[in-house]
Amino acid sequence: MKKQLNEEFRRMQVLAGIKQIIKEEQIRYNKGEIITLVTQNGDNNGEVTIDSVYDSTILGWMKSVGPTPIKVKITQSEDGNGYDVYEEDGTMIRQNHKIISKK
């Protein structure tokens, strides 16, 4: 019985640790903040002005060649190696990019 309680207590500690890591990894940006999209090679590949953030999804406006910014959605890549950027219609326009805050 005591062994079962110890194992359950240890399991709860591990789960609490995992929850804390996930919480720390969530994206924390504010509306109006500008982020830079950077390729895996370190090349600048666009700037996005944050509109809103929910968990690990960023909605914002990306500077474009024309006068009107593009509405984009940024989500974590499926393979976990960066972030993918999608246009409003769901078309992927950037893949596996890093995000750098422009403070």
Domain that includes residue 91, residue range: 34-101
Confidence of residue 92 (pLDDT cuts 50, 70, 90): very high
**Residue 22 within any structural domain of the chain:** no
Backbone angles phi, psi at 53, to 5 degrees: -135, 135
31 vs 3 pLDDT, higher one: 31
> Residue 20 — φ and ψ, nearest 5°?
-65, -40
- Please report, for residues 2, 4, 10, 54, 64, the alpha-carbon distance to residue 58 in angstroms, rounded to integers and kept in the order given: 47, 43, 35, 7, 18
Asked if residue 5 is part of any domain, the answer here is no
pTM attached to this predicted model: 0.71
Cβ of 56: how many Cβ atoms within 10 Å? 13
Is residue 28 in some structural domain? Answer: no
The torsion of the CA quartet 88, 89, 94, 100, rounded to 10 degrees, works out to 20
Establish if 14 belongs to a structural domain: no
- For the stretch 13-62, pLDDT in tens is 766 655 544 444 556 788 999 999 999 888 999 999 999 998 889 999 99
Whole-number CA gyration radius for the chain: 18
Number of compact structural domains in the chain: 1
Answer whether residue 9 is part of any domain.
no
Question: Does residue 25 lie in a domain region?
Answer: no
User: Considering the domain boundaries, does residue 70 fall inside one?
Assistant: yes
Question: 16 in a domain, yes or no?
Answer: no
